[in-house]
Amino acid sequence: MSAAPIYSVIIPAWNEAGWIEKSLEAVFAACHAQPESFEVIVVDNNSSDDTAELARAAGAKVVFEPHQQIARARNAGAQAAQGQWLIFVDADTWPEAALIRATLDQLASGAVSGGGAQVDFDDLPLAIYRLGLRLWNFASYYGGVAAGCYLFCQAAALKEIGGFSEKVYAGEEAFFSRGIRRWGKARGLKFHIIRSPKVLTSGRKTQWFAPWQHVMVALTVLLMPFVIRSKRLSWFWYRRPPQ
């Protein structure tokens, strides 16, 4: 019987047939460059395409979560994971080997409860998006809030805080960051945002939605944060353009 993996990479995925293979290729390449044992879990969040089949063919373990909610998908992956450390990667995100190495070093140090990474996008066509990215990376690092496309933590910490909040349909990474940060603080551990290398993710939402929609969503969440408790009002995270 093979030993349990040291860490688990968890990828929540809903109708990601056009993206999951590229993401898994990057994840497996980055993880195979490390000496620690690992597993890759894709959580099929009730996809209607062949996301699950493509993930299995690429070598990932596939878990099914029928209720379409990002937090539930993350929790389903965490429950299936065997690793003592967890890394959550979005299905349109491509971590490099150096980032996985930096993450494992942070977790192995015994001084960190969890964290994330500053973000870079593959394509940001407008200046307003590039400004928004700079502001986000500043706020993420100094505010201790990790971007949802790349999160990591001790598995024990996530279990003790009750997992990702299933009360919300978006923004669960903010509650994760606060919970893991508080858990760590009580134990003298830090919540760490890796500044370099950044995690590369897609700018696909800048193609799917107009700039005014991005601004509207940001202002709505800031002024009326209760909207993320509704899937209908969290449409920005669950709507896809026609295929």
Q: What is 7-204's CATH number?
A: 3.90.550.10
The CA-based angle 70-76-78, given to 5 degrees, is 105
- Residue 235's nearest CA partner among 55, 88, 216 is 216
The stretch 191-215 carries a mean pLDDT of 95
Whether 1 shows a pLDDT value over 80: the answer reads no
pLDDT at residue 243 in the model? 59
The stretch 186-191 carries a mean pLDDT of 98
Quick: pLDDT tens for 60-110.
999 999 999 999 999 999 999 999 999 999 999 999 999 999 999 999 999
Whether 122 shows a pLDDT value over 80: the answer reads yes
Q: Is the dihedral of CA 204, 209, 211, 214 positive or negative?
A: negative
- Burial class of residue 48 (count of CB atoms within 10 Å of its CB; 0-12, 13-18, 19+): exposed
* C-alpha dihedral, 79 to 81 to 83 to 84, nearest 10°: -10
pLDDT at residue 2 in the model? 62
User: Residue 173 — pLDDT band, cuts 50, 70, 90?
Assistant: very high
The pTM score is: 0.95
User: Residue 242 — pLDDT band, cuts 50, 70, 90?
Assistant: confident
Least confident segment among 7-11, 97-101, 125-129, 194-198: 125-129
